[in-house]
Amino acid sequence: MFTEVPLSSFVAAHADGALVLDVREPHEYAAGHVPGARLVPLATVPDTLGDLPTGQPIFVICQSGSRSRVAAQHLARAGRDARSVTGGTGGWVSAGRPVVRGQHANVA
């Protein structure tokens, strides 16, 4: 089973360098995403399992939390410690947190 985490818990984990998967579509990601988030559109999540660690939490984010729950369920069934971020990127932005625009995950 996957876990849902509130935005406040995600903010703390992100500050500690958590692995973040953004499961939105590329155009959504390019419009603004959490710094450091790795783009893995929902439809491609099964194809990325071999690239994801098994020994650490994986925070999954989308716009509001719906797609991230689906992705987190899939990851959890595959043995990953998946955590869906409640409120998603929309909540992150509404809270005044920084976003990166463009396709680059680690460019501020």
CA dist., res. 82 & res. 52, Å (int): 11
Task: Indicate if 75 belongs to the active site.
Answer: no
Spell out the residues 6+ positions from residue 26 whose beta carbon is closer than 8 angstroms to its own: 39, 41, 103
**Catalytic annotation, pick one of 62, 71, 72, 76:** 62
- Nearest partner of 40 among 75, 5, 2, judged by Cα: 75
Do residues 35 and 18 lie in contact, with contact meaning Cβ atoms separated by under 8 Å? Answer: no
Q: Which residues are catalytic?
A: 62
